[in-house]
Amino acid sequence: MSGKPKVLVARAIFPEHLALLEPHCELDYNAGDEPLTKAELAARLVDKRAALITGSERIDAGVLAQAGELSAICSISVGYNHIDIAACTGAGVLVTNTPEVLTETTADMGFALLMAAARRISESERWLREGHWKRWALDQFLGTDVHGSTLGIVGMGRIGRAIARRARGFAMNVVYHNRARLAPELEAQSAAQYLDLDSLLRVSDHVILVLPYSVENHHLIGASQLALMKPYATLSNIARGGLIDERALCAALREGRIAAAALDVFEGEPQVLEELLALRNVVLTPHLGSASRATRDAMARLAIANLVAVLAGDKPPCLVNPQAWGH
């Protein structure tokens, strides 16, 4: 029997990442990469000191109740709404995430989605592939300009500010809404004007959501908010699916009350509303915000650094719940 602490790796990771872990622990590795059910996850955590998870694993009080030896949950993600932080803190379980390393890549994806929605890239490509393109026409797939337009950023953390930097290259007027107004120096660096949410929705040609999900902002964008937007405006979401009332969005898109949307995240993912799948004027991607090889590598390495620190008795660098340290 190994005297090393036991660690669950809940999803498949790159071979070089396994090599980083193996000297420090005895691995229970889900090499098949099939998401574990709640019961399976709880059963495999019973004798584990720590777990390396992703956003697809849900950690709640029920799972923790069976994991008496657990001291850390290390997530390969910047968001952590899939983890009950209060329950973890109460159980003395450290929670870590992977901030900063995915900022620029996710901002790239956000801007790509914004442009795809504005210029009807997905819609026109599908139409072309279906064999409909027989001639050029002056009014064929007219979109909305990105350059010189007004961009509304909802959530002005690191990723929101990175998107604002990209917007400067397109001579966009940037407005933003945030839980708290940025410090004057950060606001100046972003060349962005603070507005309340309703005002931002009224004036923006393109709106992008980049804020963390919480119970308080569930369906932050619903029917009444969509009604404030311009009929030729676009809405993009690279944050969390629960921020948008997807049925209200489908109605607005179907009825032409906004021009287009682009979604990388969904409330019930990996399930997607049939109504969304049927619409042509929405770009849909399967949660790819940080999906570059270099960034996913950096995320996994940071999550592993957090985990190894915990196993060594050290405070991990990206601790979400410092109240649990020393519990």
Residue 327 appears among annotated catalytic residues: no
Active-site entry in 158, 202, 247, 269: 269
Closest CA to 79 of 277, 276, 269: 269
Burial label for 234, CB within 10 Å (0-12, 13-18, 19+), is buried
Question: Structure tokens of 161?
Answer: 């500010």
Active-site entry in 240, 246, 296, 301: 240
First to last CA, the chain: 29
Residue 287 appears among annotated catalytic residues: yes
Query: What are residue 271's phi and psi, to 5 degrees?
Result: -75, 140
Contact 95, 70 (CB under 8 A): no
Our measurement of the distance from residue 87's CA atom to the centroid of its chain's CA atoms, rounded to an integer in Å, reads 22
Q: Give the bridge partners for 176, in sequence order.
A: 153, 194
Residue 269 appears among annotated catalytic residues: yes
C-alpha angle 170/175/179, rounded to 5°? 135
Q: Determine the Cα–Cα distance for residues 308 and 49; give it in Å rounded to an integer.
A: 11
Please give the single-letter amino acid code of residue 178.
N
Catalytic site residues?
240, 269, 287
